[in-house]
Amino acid sequence: MNAVKVTVLAGGVGGAKFLKGLRTELRRRFPNGDGGSTAEITAVVNTGDDMWLTGLRVCPDLDSIMYALGGGNDEVRGWGRADETERVAAELTAYGIGWPWFTLGDLDLGTHIARSSFLRDGLTLTEATARLCERWNPGVRLLPMSDQPAETHVDILVDGKRRIVHFEEWWVKYRATVPAQRFIQVGVDKAKPTPQVLHAIEHADVVLVAPSNPVVSIGTILGVPGMREALRGARAPIVGVSPIISGAAVRGMADACLTAIGVETTAAAVAKHYGARSRGGILDTWLVDTSDAAVVPVLEGSGIRTLAVPLWMSDTDTSATLAGDALDAARAR
Ligand code: GDP
Ligand code: CA
């Protein structure tokens, strides 16, 4: 049986929405059980947001995807587990450990305890993630970008004083309102893409770049030494989806990240930042929203084939249509 292999670079919540749509679309295109072709999705996930907190390894983006695709996420809040309680968090606060502004729910803590236990038993993060996914059955193979930690820290100015804080502190505690001077990938020089990630890129039929944060999700994945080279060497077409629509980050604060690295918050600027694969970058094709159709000829001039399609992922149906457009764009190369 032939399996079409789709490999997706992804961050947390935006990545999860896109992957959910892709899973739906591929199930439509390749209904199981008919003895014909099937499809396999592999997500290469940002681990730059990971941290040790209250003695536990927390992997926000991997968990966002695992919960969302496994049906355990809180749809209303937009993150974490559904039906969550916070009794343990209150105990941790009483002991004065953890981050009071980064609440770990009781059910969510179960995941972090299990993961930390696997890691202590000597499993790699890739293996630990696979074990967690045995329970959640997300229908997508989740691969951390690297088994070596490479956490994103941010250089900020608070009350005139320079501080270097974990990305989540800037993002959650400061809501990205304090200007970031730069992002640092702590330990990235010792990190490498896992063999599983390299295999998934090398053997993919299509590589998609999800509409995730271009700096602290996709940018972090691309920052792992060897990742760009692997993508540039892939035999599959690489299609990216813009996380920016009409000059805004759609949801969230990605504009603050782009400003920090001197890239405009536009679909065209992000595409040029990723660059055309024919000119040393990673993109063959780029999808912009129909409202940004005017940039198509500009980007074509930069060597990036560009198509304008609806990019809003308001529900699984619209995400599935978008994922279908990305697959078709890859085929039409
Ligand atoms: P995080 O790790 O949870 O921050 O999530 P990601 O990095 O995967 O994705 C966050 C990004 O998704 C945001 O910065 C937005 O730019 C983008 N995004 C969110 N919703 C949509 C949408 O409906 N359409 C598109 N094209 N992008 C979106
Ligand atoms: Ca994230």
The Cβ of residue 201 has, within 10 Å, a number of other Cβ atoms equal to 24
Ligand with the closest atom to the CA of 79: 1
* Candidate of 8, 13, 313 to mutate for ligand 1, largest count of ligand atoms within 8 Å of Cβ: 13
* Candidate of 73, 172, 175, 213 to mutate for ligand 1, largest count of ligand atoms within 8 Å of Cβ: 213
| Amino acid at residue number 52 | W
Least confidently predicted of 89-98, 108-117, 249-258, 317-326: 249-258
Beta sheet of 161-166, edge-to-edge order? 161-166, 151-158, 180-186
Ligand with the closest atom to the CA of 10: 1
CA-based diameter of the chain, in Å? 65
333, pLDDT greater than 70: no
Question: Do 26 and 33 meet the contact criterion of CB atoms below 8 Å apart?
Answer: no
* Distance of alpha carbon 9 from alpha carbon 38, whole angstroms: 20
Nearest CA to ligand 1 atom 1: 12
Q: DSSP assignment of 21-59, as one string?
A: HHHHHHHHHS-TTSSS-EEEEEEEE--TT-EEETTEEE-
DSSP structural state of residue 168: H
pLDDT at 2: 75
pLDDT digits (tens, 9 = 90+) for 180-190: 999 999 999 99
pLDDT at 207: 98
95, pLDDT greater than 80: yes
49 CA: nearest ligand 1 atom:
2
Q: Tokens at residue 255, please?
A: 């504009």
241 CA: nearest ligand 1 atom:
26
67, pLDDT greater than 70: yes
Domain 49-144 bears CATH identifier 1.10.8.240: yes
Nearest CA to ligand 1 atom 2: 12
Residues with CB under 6 A from ligand 1: 10-15, 61, 64, 211-213, 217, 241-243, 245, 249-252, 254, 311-313
Q: Which CATH class is domain 190-331?
A: alpha beta
Please, how many CA atoms are within 13 Å of residue 13, restricted to the half-sphere of its CB? 17
Ligand with the closest atom to the CA of 67: 1
Q: DSSP assignment of 254-309, as one string?
A: HHHHHHHTT--SSHHHHHHHH-BGGGTSSBSEEEE-GGGGGGHHHHHHTT-EEEE-
Q: Specify the pTM.
A: 0.97
232 CA from centroid of ligand 1 (Å): 24
